[in-house]
Chains A and B, each alone.
Chain A
Amino acid sequence: MQLTVWTYEGPPHVGAMRVATAMTDLHYVLHAPQGDTYADLLFTMIERRKARPPVTYTTFQARDLGADTSQLFMDAARDAQARFQPAAMIVGASCTGELIQDDPGGLSKTLGLPCPVIPLELPSYSKKENWGASETFYQLVRTIAPHGPDKSDQGRPSCNIIGPTALGFRHRDDVREIVGLLEVMGIDVNVVAPLDASVHDLLLLKQADFNVCLYPETGLIACQWLKRSFRQEFTKTVPIGVGATGDFMREVAALTGISDEEIEALISEQEVRLPWYSRSIDSTYLTGKRVFLFGDATHVIAMARVAAEEMGYEVVGLGTYSREFARDVREAGERHGVEALITDDYLEVEAKIAELQPELVLGSQMERHIAKRLGLPCAVISSPVHVQDFPARYSPQMGFEGANVLFDTLVHPLTMGLEEHLLHMFRDDFEFNDEAGPSHLGHGSARAPVKTEPQNEADAATIAPTDTALRWTVEGEAELKKIPFFVRGKARRNTERYATERGLAEISLETLYEAKSHFSR
């Protein structure tokens, strides 16, 4: 039993819904109580999808439990097939449905429905949303793909794009960007799945020469199976950032026999602004900004590289809630010289951020809330998502246009170069001070977080002295307040550590500057 307030991932049947909703003619019959229908709003409200998810819930009630819940399931499945006429159905149970052990798969077999029915076993008490999406898509592929026609000889090399789903972080725009990139390379896209794919499209998967594994969280298991079954290689590089996009193109070139010279020429022809923007003089202030990253494995690994190699930031910490990819994230941590945090407990993430005092947090909506509480700038780079993460404009994360978007995303929350200097110089200016937040973000970005609850532990770490045995003098405290907010917490901690190590009971103005000199880089 685990106590939680917020969770990074939903239950696995929500992952199955992300696959069913992504596809055009698949229907999901879910043995679940009425409360589970809340999941519809993830798609209709958060993602603003125009149709209800293709999901029928049996909505059994307490009074049905003593009677016949399996009949209820069979009626729901039969009615759903008759009403929606899907090309195929998936059937399964939510967490409560799992407990009543009605065996939706077995029951639907007895119905003799006039379409393929794929049973799903998604253990709700041990697995989570991304696993559920991955498993669902894998079951669909292994059931349907073998029945498709064998590969015919084509003129141009072709690939499938595997992994994008409904409710994915920028999946809609990433797909468009990567399809365009492959087009530039002379490669046909055979099938994109599950996003906007039909059941019939899955029959055609075999036709491609290789697979692009766009999101390993949802697509890797299917890609591995396709490799084993049809000898289709798949790409390992996720094309987020300038460097990774180039590497992705090289990987695709190697798979399709494009020569090194050709691909290097092609890469250098692509238009991308990030490298110049990063080199332009205005970006000097970005140098060595301390950044913490948390999110799904794919985005964290890729964005850590972007932050370090393409923005000139310093990665001071990273982590993921994707336990399935813990090893990859740990390796990424090692590359950046930090130990990865693998957890799905947001309190641990909050404590880590409070401890590290980064100047920028790159995370999910959860980290955005944490950062807001701690008064730190933050950009969202990963699921879990919020309505704001489905912007109206074209806003990919992948490919070269994605890199341009990332430059903006990673700079926007920060106080800009000259403004930062002015804040240093005129700290006591009554209207132009660091409590007001970056001027380009307007009043909404005021630094002082609104407290609706008693201070929690993490707040205490930045506001109150960490060691109660220490006393700050009035002058020391006043001087500390003149240090800009984004380094104040760190300055306090360093100064107190300095004082403790030297056995000082009191921190004066002098101690503050002694510590500053001691810790200066």
Chain B
Amino acid sequence: MSVTVDQIRVPAPVGCGERPVLKERGQHEVFCGLTGIMWLHRKIQDAFFLIVGSRTCAHLMQSAAGVMIFAEPRFGTAIMDERDLAGIADMHDELDDVVEKLLARRPEIRLLFLVGSCPSEVIKFDLGKAAQRLSVRHSPDVRILNYSGSGIETTFTQGEDACLASLVPTLPAEPENAPAELMVVGALPDVVEDQFSRLFQQMGIGAARFLPARLADDMPPVGPNTFFLLAQPFLTETARELEDRGATLIQAPFPLGAEGTTAWLKAAADAFGVDDATFESVVAAPRERAQRAVEKLQPALEGKSVFFFPDSQLEIPLARFLSAELGMVPSEVGTPYLNKRLVAPDLNALPEGVQVSEGQDVDIQLDRCRAERPDITVCGLGLANPLEVEGLTTKWSIELVFTPIQGYEQAGDLAELFARPLNRRTRLEV
């Protein structure tokens, strides 16, 4: 079925009710945006991510996720040294040489991201200029883009946002009268992407396009005929860039759990005029599977309290899933950045009395967490073991970013991620 743009019905976005948000500015214990490269470089199979930074950046990349399993990953760091900073070496010349060597070594690379870091941003090293210059030199074999993953501007998943936002202006334009097209935005595991693809096909929406695509030359076109669903809540800049290209956001809860996934799919189905009977026939079976998988874990999780330290911006949608679908009780839900427009549907579904906090002052937040003694604490890798020592059960938040959790078929896995630490506690007799 081909739908014209004026047939699309996107409801006006909902706002958030009045909910007090605790805003904190103190020590942040969160990764910087460079960390996003760990999944992005696997997602876009012919892209290379070159960090222009320091030894710290390189050390972060190999320490943070233990990614040394890859024979030769498609990322690297151009480490600035004294000569660069003292002006003895021209940094642009040096960078050109590094890129030259890199592309000679990796001829299969079609898309190169120059990724800014804290030190490159502080010295105002102009990567935009470098990308333009290098694009000319290496065109048409390699496209070269830039974005900043620096910790002074981006927190953890905001790195993906910055990366995708840098891609949007380069997406091909769609002609005025092109039929309406659905775009799903945000890196998803391939298996999840394929599941969503099949569901949209079965509903008759047609071939949904995904950003980022798996190959640099397959990036989806964009235009006023593009209607997009966000698969991840942290894509503030990307959404804005897409809107600048004329695309329209379909606001929805995020596709976590049976209900979240249904609402997310339904938002697209409604926009594209899929009738209820068709929608039901497509989602009934997988929704039922998801409900069964989640219900199985409900006895272990129902009534348990959960405390989120800020990490990935997935915290609000996750808290919605845990409270609405598993009966868990969120106490504090911390997020590094609260984009009310994007998370409104999930935020509105949180029960009254849940403390939402934005930003961090880690020592004070730890005091609150210790005072509350939640049944499960979702936190970063640096905090988990020390909290376990204090008798708190923790869940590494990074696992929620590295694991397929979206969609019907993963709903049970997502619940299981929270059930497992509790289950482990009950097994151990030592």
Residues in chain A within 8 A of chain B (CB atoms): 1-7, 9-11, 13-14, 33-42, 44-46, 48-52, 56-62, 65, 76, 79, 83, 94-96, 99-100, 123-126, 128, 365-366, 369, 373, 386-387, 449, 451-454, 456
Contact = CB atoms under 8 A, between A and B. Distances in A.
Interface stretch (B119-127, B200-208, B260-268, B326-334): B119-127
Contact of A4 (B58, B155, B386): B58
A94 B56 contact: yes
A56 B361 CA distance: 11
B162 to A, nearest CB: 13
Contacts of A99: 85, 119, 122-123
B382 A34 contact: no
**Chain B contact patch, size range:** 35 or more
B68 interface: yes
Contacts of A42: 63
Residue from B64, B68, B71, B76 with most neighbouring chain A CB atoms (10 Å): B71
Given A2-B81, A61-B153, A83-B363, A45 B381 contact: yes
A38 B64 contact: yes
Interface in B25-83: 26-35, 50, 54-56, 58-60, 62-64, 66, 68-82
Interface string B69-105: 1111111111111101100010100110110011000
B273 to A, nearest CB: 43
A308 B290 CA distance: 61
A5 B70 CA distance: 11
B118 A48 contact: no
A58 B107 CA distance: 42
Contacts of B68: 6, 365-366, 369
A59 B59 CA distance: 18
A126 B89 CA distance: 15
B28 A1 contact: no
A454 B152 contact: no
B428 interface: no
Given A96-B152, A125-B85, A36 B56 contact: yes
A452 B95 contact: no
A1 B94 contact: yes
A409 to B, nearest CB: 21
Contact of A373 (B28, B71, B76, B153): B71
A54 to B, nearest CB: 12
A32 to B, nearest CB: 8
Given A60-B152, A456-B71, A7 B59 contact: yes
B381 to A, nearest CB: 4
Nearest to B50: A3
A40 B150 contact: no
A38 B75 CA distance: 18
Contacts of B31: 34-35, 37-38
A57 B27 contact: yes
Contacts of A51: 386, 389
Counting from the closest, the 5 A-B pairs by CB-CB distance are A35-B32, A35-B151, A40-B382, A1-B94, A96-B118
A453 B71 contact: yes
A499 to B, nearest CB: 29
B122 A100 contact: yes
A271 B28 CA distance: 52
Residue from B29, B55, B82, B363 with most neighbouring chain A CB atoms (10 Å): B55
Interface of B: 26-35, 50, 54-56, 58-60, 62-64, 66, 68-82, 84-85, 89, 91, 94-95, 97-98, 101-102, 108, 118-119, 121-123, 150-153, 155, 363, 380-386, 389
A288 B239 CA distance: 64
A58 B361 CA distance: 10
A60 B152 CA distance: 7
Contact of A2 (B32, B78, B85, B108): B78
B381 A41 contact: yes
B76 A35 contact: no
Nearest to B155: A34
A1 B78 contact: yes
Contacts of B122: 65, 96, 99-100
Nearest to B54: A95
Contacts of B85: 99, 125
B151 A452 contact: no
Contacts of A36: 56, 60, 151
Contacts of B50: 3
Given A11-B55, A124-B54, A62 B71 contact: no
Nearest to A459: B71
A13 B123 CA distance: 20
B205 to A, nearest CB: 34
B120 to A, nearest CB: 10
A50 B386 contact: yes
Contact of B121 (A6, A62, A124, A453): A62
Nearest to A36: B56
Residue from B32, B68, B72 with most neighbouring chain A CB atoms (10 Å): B72
Given A95-B118, A126-B82, A1 B381 contact: no
Given A4-B76, A126-B81, A35 B118 contact: yes
A100 B118 CA distance: 11
Contacts of B84: 1, 125
A79 B59 CA distance: 28
A48 B388 CA distance: 11
Contact of B55 (A41, A46, A56, A128): A128
B81 A1 contact: yes
A95 B382 contact: no
Contacts of B389: 50-51
Contacts of A6: 58, 62, 68
Contact of B385 (A35, A45, A60, A373): A45
Contacts of B123: 99
A1 B79 contact: yes
A4 B363 contact: no
Given A3-B102, A5-B73, A456-B71, A10 B56 contact: yes
A124 B55 contact: yes
13 contacts: A1-B94, A2-B81, A3-B98, A4-B77, A9-B59, A37-B27, A41-B381, A59-B26, A79-B363, A99-B123, A125-B81, A126-B81, A452-B71
A1 B125 CA distance: 13
Contact of A3 (B30, B101, B151, B380): B101
Contacts of B153: 61-62
A11 B71 contact: no
A95 B63 contact: no
Nearest to B367: A83
Nearest to A366: B68
Contact of A5 (B72, B150, B382): B72
A123 B80 CA distance: 12
Given A1-B78, A50-B385, A52-B382, A40 B29 contact: yes
